[in-house]
Amino acid sequence: MFIDVKRSIAAPVCVATALFAATLSAATASGPITIAAILTTSGPAAPLGESEQNALTMLEHDVNAHGGIGGQPIHFTFQDDENKPDIAAQLATAAVAGGAVAIVCGTRTATAIAVARATAASSTPIVYMTPTAAVWQTRNGVAANVFQANPRDELEASKIVTAARTMLHAHSIGVLHDENEYGTNGARILADEAKRQGVQIVDDESYAGDATDFTPQVEHLKAAKPDVIVIWGATQTPALATRAVRQLGLTVPLIGSSGILSEGYLRVAGSSADGVYSVTSLAFTNPDPAQKRFLKSYRDTFHTRPNAFAAFGWDAGNLIVAGLRASKSPGGLAAAMQAMAPVGGVDGTYHFSATDHNGLTAGTLHVAYARNGVWFTQ
């Protein structure tokens, strides 16, 4: 059973502390099992990190209401990385030193990479929430303690190109992406997938994360005459780019990565968002039973509809909980997570192995579309 939470966006850590008071008072003599949550809850990415924090708050109360882990409660300690890799790394180092059994992190790709590097010499597992598989799938092999909680870029690119080709009958694609790691890596993978499916990339444009003027990029896209434009980015900047595309007269279909799938994108884009497509693992219109329960519980708890990032947070926390239940000791948690039985989540079923620390398949993804300020799924 979930409690009804009214949280202040301006002070998430203070509210979270109040929410956990009842749980902490019931802790065993050895204290609760501490899981560090290093999220971005300030700045432009705050709506993403706050949604992840909401889901983890909800998960903590759910797990503890059902007996915790072997009778011991869990406790997420929330800290804001301010979307700064150096701060994320410092917080991760402190979390390991402070005895956290695991870390949930990575509202943005750069902070996920920073936490992974800071914990590389540790057996403490981290579960991050961005689609960049290279955080665990490194040049030196699979990072033993790093796991990914959402569909990776390769799965999104496959779904986007397939939708462009089969739904929208596109033969050519123009790309508009954030110049950061997330956007650049996504654009590269999208180009590889387009080539594989026989679709031509006719233009590739990037923008700064804080951009407000997209005129040069849109004019180049207009000149290239693509059948479809793919926007690969997150936070409010892709919404501003969407408005620019429409205001400057481009009427071709737009498809976004999962980073645009939020209420914030719809608010900023306004009427320009109507008809925009995105990929998502969260099926709003026809959810499966696990998604239906999650959607209802989140609405009942926070009185708003969850976005994709809330689902990422829920699954990230649940993967750690499943690992704790499968593990003989906290020190063996990463190995237990790699070897544990498949875990059913909101974003799909996770099949971790020694060679795959994501474990999701393209079948977990759906195509969403925006209409009148609401996301729907087909």
Last residue of a domain, one of 280, 304, 332: 280
Q: Are residues 170 and 88 in the same domain?
A: no
Check residue 123 and give its pLDDT: 87
Q: What is the mean pLDDT of residues 209-238?
A: 96
Q: What is the mean pLDDT of residues 213-239?
A: 96
Q: Which residue has the higher pLDDT, 351 or 24?
A: 351
Angle, alpha carbons 230-82-20 (nearest 5°)? 110
H-helix or E-strand containing 232?
strand 228-232
Q: What is the mean pLDDT of residues 129-140?
A: 94
Give the tokens for residue 275. 């008809």
> What integer best gives the mean pLDDT of the chain?
90
Q: Are residues 161 and 237 in the same domain?
A: yes
Number of domains making up the chain: 2
Q: Are residues 146 and 157 in the same domain?
A: no
Residue count of the chain, please give it: 378
Concatenated DSSP letters of 343-373: EE-SS-EE---SS-SS---GGG-EEEEEETT
- CATH no. for residue 227? 3.40.50.2300
Q: Are residues 308 and 355 in the same domain?
A: yes
Q: What is the residue range of 159's domain?
A: 153-280
Q: Are residues 166 and 248 in the same domain?
A: yes
> Is residue 5 a part of any domain in this protein?
no
pLDDT digits (tens, 9 = 90+) for 41-90: 999 889 999 999 999 999 999 999 999 999 999 999 999 999 999 999 99
Q: Are residues 228 and 294 in the same domain?
A: no
Q: Are residues 105 and 141 in the same domain?
A: yes
328 falls in which pLDDT band (50, 70, 90)? confident
Check residue 22 and give its pLDDT: 33
> Is residue 377 a part of any domain in this protein?
no
> Is residue 228 a part of any domain in this protein?
yes
Check residue 14 and give its pLDDT: 34
pLDDT digits (tens, 9 = 90+) for 163-203: 999 999 999 999 999 999 999 999 999 999 999 999 999 99
Instruction: Examine the pLDDT at 277 and tell me if it is beyond 60.
Output: yes
Dihedral sign of CA atoms 176, 178, 183, 184 in order: positive
Check residue 2 and give its pLDDT: 37
pLDDT digits (tens, 9 = 90+) for 286-307: 999 999 999 999 999 999 989 8
Instruction: Examine the pLDDT at 13 and tell me if it is beyond 90.
Output: no
Buried b (16+ CB within 10 A) or exposed e, 52-75: bbbbbbbbbbbbbeeebbeebbbb
Q: Are residues 20 and 103 in the same domain?
A: yes
